[in-house]
Structure 1
Amino acid sequence: MSVWEGLTGQEESVAALRSAAESTDGTGGMTHSWLITGPPGSGRSNVAAAFAAALVGNGPDDDHTLRLITAGTHPDVARLTTQRVIITIDEIRQLVTSSHFSPSVGRYRVMIVEDADRMTERTSNLLLKALEEPPERTVWILCAPSEADLLPTIRSRVRSVRLRVPGIESVADLIVARTGVDRVLATDAARQAQSHIGMAQRLATSEDARDRRRRTLTTVLAIRSVGDAVNAAAALLAVADEDAKAITLERDAEERDAALRSLGVQPGGTVPPALRSQLRVLEEDQKRRATRSLRDGLDRILVDVSSLYRDLLLLGLGAPTEPVNLAIRHELDRALPSVPPAAALEVLDAIATARQRIGANVAALLALEALLVTIARAVR
């Protein structure tokens, strides 16, 4: 199987990366630093892993190398991904140090930084020094939603590859191939996720995820007063918390069990005092990841609410576009008289503001209340 297989809707980008990976005389545009950008769900990390496999593997059909990279066990590929809110300077410092090691089995040593937009300016400047003077056979691959998310000095030292949003049918094809779910369900999930591959797969395979999304839309459509808005804010925060816990609780338990086994502690046994500090470090990491998961859950809710008012705006304007929320078309038609296009635009602006506020560490409940009060005042 080719390492490029499954990169849905990214033919142009794959062609550019493939040409660079296969180039031996410099004509394919190979360079030491790359930036892969694209909206959430476009497959940035998957494209980066496939490119790394093409660089260090034995040809485009070496899917064994890709599996090693995905598992984080390939000796020539270091992959930095974070479940925290930010990438720390110590993580980048460690990656920069290892970038000076020579490749052991492939042509290159590849350093992948996922979510590079989560670096602070100080951390970015440390990475910049590594990009300015990289070792001869080291390749850096950064991933971010857009070029604007990184410092201009970093952007000037990388070759950018922009990913596009894959089509609904392409995402549905991928989900059916991966999971075997019903084609209609896969298509509905791809549409509701707005072609975000990871979220589409989750909606297609989890009734709980679909139920949480339905509750979000139903709660927002029922807002008619400021009181409704305040109550809805608390309800949506609870939905986001449920979503975050559904993602993290099982993984946290598995990590704790694995840590206890590695320390020689039997299941249900007492942890010796000398080992408790090591478990504390794990628990602190899990708390940081829970913060990130909650914030991501809130963002998913805001994206869903945005899709709702985007549908109402386009329907109000008579645009010949299929709604994202086609499954609740009758509810959209019922709400349409109460949400004229000007009101829908006002709500969409308020959603963008709420996302910015949550990203800036404003209390999530306050940000949601401000947004939902705007909705209460905008609808007739």
Structure 2
Amino acid sequence: MPTAEELDVEAIRADFPVLDRRVGDSDLVYLDNAATTQTPEPVIDAITEYYREYNANVHRGLHQLSQEASIAYEEAHDTVAEFIGADGREEVVFTANTTMAENLVAYAWGLNNLEPGDEVVLTQMEHHASLVTWQQIAERTGATVRYIRVDDAGRLDMDHAREIVGPDTAMASIVHVSNVLGTINPVAELADMVHEQDGLIFVDGAQAVPNRPVDVAAIDADFYAFSGHKMAGPTGIGVLYGKERLLESMEPFLYGGEMIEKVTYEDSRWNELPWKFEAGTPPIAQAVALDRAIEYLESIGMDRIAAHENSIAQYAIEQLHAMEGVTVYGPPAGAERGGLVAFSLDTVHAHDIASIVNDHGVAIRAGDHCTQPLHDTLGIAATARASFYVYNRREEVDALIEALDAAREIFA
């Protein structure tokens, strides 16, 4: 983990208007960033500019507004490609979110390539977007799903990974950073392991791309996905990175306008990449805003964002461990991890925790966080989760701890 220069958090906070809100009698303390981050003024401005100045469909008109919208939309692909280390816009497909990206690959590649005897390797910490999707595809194709175990420290058991990744492994779908444990998985090592067996690897980067440098080429991911709304961008847009040769070989997932080159009554021919996988009117305003969000994050520095998040998470872990009756899940304090902390309080249900701290203006998440099997493995129905971003301060962790003390007193 790099040692970052101290961020000017107050200056950053000034860019996020919602952080000035009050909840009841308290200032808002927003600690639900793993679900969705807040949006800075430059990104809001980008959306407004699009609708005020050049709102038009792309690739369909010769008029000035359509030309401007088309250029902005295409340049957004270029920005994303550079941001994640892809070779070019041909490898960047815009989707609705990470879940849709996972489904695109599962349907466009999985249904056409998996067969009985093939294995899909997942981990016990997968989000439902990965786990449920590949379960369903395996049922339809006769493939088998296998899971890499999570050890007692909340990390992947890599010895077990080496046992189950073998010649029958056709696809591995691995979360880069766990949205419950905060574990940063060794995805490059896993990619090497899978490629040695001639399999492919899909990496779910929803909790990684927003807060740390990611280079898909260095990882050697075959597919990589993430969402705009978790990285200071808008809802309604996600990204699927895919190696060009793989995307070229795949059939489209959706059919209709934009994704075609030639249509007759008898047959159709598909458009070039990436438009082949972007059927219908695409998320134009969202793409323009995502472009601006990336520009905003890069102006701060992804290394610095990662270090800041880790620092806040480490402080939160220390404070939570100091509380009686609290269990913190995931790698221990001092270990590099993502900027989130899932925990339980032995006398209070997670949903009650979230409700009571909300009365103090603190926004956290409670539930299984779309990881029911992982929670079953942990032996708990639900956890509370505090997750941090570039605008959070240590004082907000203190506010959370004070609110948790209040919750414990209520249920004492």
Using structure 1 for the length normalisation, give the TM-score.
Answer: 0.31
Which structure: larger Rg?
1
User: RCO higher in 1 or 2 (8 Å CA, sep ≥ 6)?
Assistant: 2
The structure where strand makes up a greater share of residues is: 2
